[in-house]
Homo-oligomer: A and B are copies of this chain.
Amino acid sequence: MSLAGPETCVSFIYEISCFELLTPEEKELVDSRSVLVNYKKGENICKQGSFASHIMYLEKGLVKIFLEGNPKDLILSVTPHKNLMGLQALYEGNNTFLYSISTYTESVVRLIDIQIFKQLLKQNPLFAFRIINILNESTSQSYGRFFSLTHKQLHGRLADILLCLSRKIFKAETFDLPISRSDLSDLTSMSTESVIRIMKDFKDDGIIDINNKTITLVDVPRLDRISAKG
């Protein structure tokens, strides 16, 4: 087994900054051609297959980006605030959303006209270069997860997700989990029952602690070993 650890993360990027690469006029253009939208917990931000007329920037909140399947979805990423979403819609000839996005918490999203966004890319190469970096970062994480889900068994996969949530999303060893067991199962590609059982295993072994919605990673090195072993 290889590819353990941070590469298997579910998050896109900690926080991205790209707009500071724009000129004042370009920033103003973005402002004038974008809108802020508020979403309540559990709401859909975009729907897989529908037409994509804008790029989304998560100003505030926590969301999941997922492929809809029958009967089970596949969560591609849990994305915290300050991340761009829906960049794949830039791909010419595919103006539909590849995935659905919905919120875990109250969120604020900036919707940026996709034509404006394309224009910025074409006129500001440093901005374009930054976007390339962002896409590559996200691809790297995606490959790590790909490996985790296809080559590790249940305990390793759940360890990966718990470590990632702790390190990348909540940045703490104790955190309130707004993600249900069922969503954890969509994230790890296993049944909800298995998530529950393995969480209990971890708790019984003193690796994690569970108090209602609050999770504490008690023995991180052990989780790392479980992740590495697969």
Which residues of A does B touch, CB under 8 Å?
Answer: 1-3, 67-70, 72, 74, 76, 87-88, 90-92, 94, 98-99, 118, 121-126, 128-129, 131-133, 135-140, 142-143, 145-147, 149-151, 189
Contacts and interface: CB of A to CB of B under 8 A. Distances in A.
Contacts of A2: 67-70
A135 B36 CA distance: 28
Given A125-B123, A125-B124, A125-B125, A74 B132 contact: no
Contacts of A124: 125
A99 B139 CA distance: 12
8 contacts: A3-B67, A91-B133, A91-B136, A92-B133, A142-B143, A145-B146, A146-B146, A150-B150
Nearest to A94: B140
Contact of A87 (B91, B121, B136): B136
Given A67-B146, A74-B146, 9 more contacts: A1-B69, A2-B68, A67-B143, A67-B147, A74-B147, A88-B136, A91-B133, A91-B136, A121-B132
A85 to B, nearest CB: 13
A91 to B, nearest CB: 4
A3 B70 CA distance: 10
A225 to B, nearest CB: 15
